[in-house]
């Protein structure tokens, strides 16, 4: 049986092992595959029965030329890189990894927040460059420092990751408000569900942990920013298109939004002319919330379990069923 991994480097840059997949069949791992060259994609998987992809798109055009393909394992939670309908029509099972980085992504959201509150990276750099040595006082700070206890975090999307972020925020002494249509968690003294407009108006910090759907795309826009407190902080390590980036830029420049911490943008890798680059009050990291080794180990383990379940005729974590 032939197995192909189209873009394995981000999952495993060398600190994990592909041995578990190699035990299943003849496994070929490509570090990267073109995102746009359909001929290259097709040529690499045309003889494979099992294919794993992270961000390499598997369109209807590509799938049409892969008659041996019976299983696609998406090495991520989001599966929009696969034409699910085309796969279904060809009898191809598609699975994803529904959860693997809950703790890591929640932790990273708080890391973005703490960096915005204390500018630790900047102050370390200043010390390393001699600013403290030359300073006439025993301490200094170049940005306002923010204490979080007693402040309110509004979380849009209160699933597993939103709840993980909320627990850490509560440990910091923050009150948590959440907007979530499912409302699967019971309210407490430090946590309650509210409507979206109340969340915007009441939150000192707004964290995005919702999926990208038509009704959430662009949910952070100039109209909703106008409803927020002056000096609000916005965090996004969910999906870039949740934010209208030009509107956020305007709000950061005006000071309506005091700061933003982003691990995702609308088009990745980020464009050199991206509107949020170059702003002192906007931190951007390269989509790494998911990437601690522990999370990637869980992702790899689940990917192997998905494949083994498919081979036993009892597939799990199917999408588009």
Question: How does DSSP assign 70-82, residue by residue?
Answer: -EEEESSS--TTB
| Residues 173-179: contacts with CB under 8 Å, at least 24 apart | 173/148, 173/149, 174/148, 174/149, 174/150, 174/205, 175/150, 175/151, 176/152, 177/152, 177/153, 177/202, 177/203, 178/154, 179/154, 179/155
User: Which is catalytic among the residues 118, 122, 160, 287?
Assistant: 287
59, burial (CB in 10 Å: exposed 0-12, middle 13-18, buried 19+): middle
Per residue in 46-105, pLDDT (tens digit) is 999 999 999 999 999 999 999 999 999 999 998 999 999 999 999 999 999 999 999 999
Partners of 16 in the β-ladder: none
User: Which is catalytic among the residues 44, 70, 119, 239?
Assistant: 239
CATH architecture of 102-284: 3-Layer(aba) Sandwich (3.40)
Place of tokens 């383990």: 301
b (16+ CB within 10 A) / e for 106-116: bebbbbbbbbb
Can you say how many angstroms the Cα of residue 294 is from the centroid of all Cα atoms in its chain? 16
DSSP-based three-state secondary structure for 234: strand
Query: Is-same-fold flag (2-100+293-311; 102-284)?
Result: yes
Cα gap 292→314, rounded to integer Å:
30
Cα gap 79→200, rounded to integer Å:
30
Neighbours of 64 (CB within 10 A): 13
pLDDT value at residue 286:
98
pLDDT value at residue 233:
98
Note the CATH number of domain 2-100+293-311. Answer: 3.40.50.720
Cα gap 148→27, rounded to integer Å:
49
Per domain, the residue ranges of the chain are 2-100+293-311, 102-284
* Low pLDDT (below 70) residues in the chain: 321
- Residue 28: both structure tokens together: 């070929």
pLDDT value at residue 306:
98
Q: Of 165, 137, 164, whose CA–CA distance to 153 is shortest?
A: 165
CB 93 within 8 A of CB 70: yes
pLDDT value at residue 320:
79
As a whole number of angstroms, the longest Cα–Cα distance in the chain is: 73
Instruction: List the alpha helices (DSSP H) in the chain.
Output: 19-22, 38-45, 60-64, 84-89, 102-118, 120-128, 131-134, 160-171, 196-202, 222-226, 245-254, 293-311
Place of tokens 């990208």: 212
Cα gap 208→156, rounded to integer Å:
5
239 catalytic residue (yes or no): yes
Cα gap 88→126, rounded to integer Å:
56
122 catalytic residue (yes or no): no
DSSP-based three-state secondary structure for 5: strand
Place of tokens 């927020």: 228
Q: Of 143, 145, 257, whose CA–CA distance to 204 is shortest?
A: 257
User: Which is catalytic among the residues 26, 268, 271, 294?
Assistant: 268
pLDDT value at residue 321:
66
274 catalytic residue (yes or no): no
Cα gap 120→251, rounded to integer Å:
23
pLDDT value at residue 229:
98
Per residue in 160-179, pLDDT (tens digit) is 999 999 999 999 999 999 99
pLDDT value at residue 271:
97
- Secondary structure of 147-202 in HEC code, one letter for each residue: CCCCCEEEEECCCHHHHHHHHHHHHCCCEEEEECCCCCCCCECCEEECCHHHHHHH
């Amino acid at each position: 049986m032939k197995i192909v991994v189209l873009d394995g480097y981000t999952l495993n840059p060398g600190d994990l092992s592909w041995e578990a997949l190699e035990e299943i069949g003849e496994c070929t791992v490509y570090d990267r595959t073109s995102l746009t060259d359909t001929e290259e994609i097709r040529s690499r998987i045309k003889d494979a029965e099992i294919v794993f992809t992270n961000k390499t798109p598997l369109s209807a055009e590509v799938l049409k030329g892969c008659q041996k393909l019976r299983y696609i394992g998406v090495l991520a939670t989001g599966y929009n890189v696969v034409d699910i309908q085309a796969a279904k029509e060809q009898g191809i099972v598609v699975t994803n990894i529904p959860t693997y980085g809950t703790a890591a992504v929640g932790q990273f959201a708080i890391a973005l927040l703490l960096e915005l509150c204390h500018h630790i990276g900047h102050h370390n750099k200043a010390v390393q460059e001699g600013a403290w040595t030359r300073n006439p006082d025993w301490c200094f700070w170049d940005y306002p420092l923010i204490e979080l206890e007693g402040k309110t975090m509004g979380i849009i999307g209160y699933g597993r990751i939103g709840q993980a972020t909320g627990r850490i925020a509560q440990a910091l002494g923050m009150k948590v408000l959440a907007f979530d249509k499912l409302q699967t968690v019971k309210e407490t003294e430090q946590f309650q569900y509210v409507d979206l407009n109340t969340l915007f108006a009441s939150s000192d910090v707004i964290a995005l942990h919702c999926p990208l759907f038509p009704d959430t795309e662009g949910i952070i826009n100039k109209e909703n920013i106008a409803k927020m407190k002056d000096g609000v902080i916005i965090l996004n390590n969910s999906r870039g298109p949740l934010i209208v980036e030009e509107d956020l830029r305007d709000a950061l420049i005006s000071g309506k939004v005091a700061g933003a911490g982003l691990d995702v943008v609308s088009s990745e890798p980020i464009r050199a002319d991206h509107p949020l680059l170059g702003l002192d009050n906007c931190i951007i990291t390269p989509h790494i919330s998911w990437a601690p080794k522990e999370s990637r180990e869980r992702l790899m383990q689940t990917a192997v379990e998905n494949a083994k379940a498919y081979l036993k005729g009892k597939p799990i974590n199917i999408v588009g069923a």
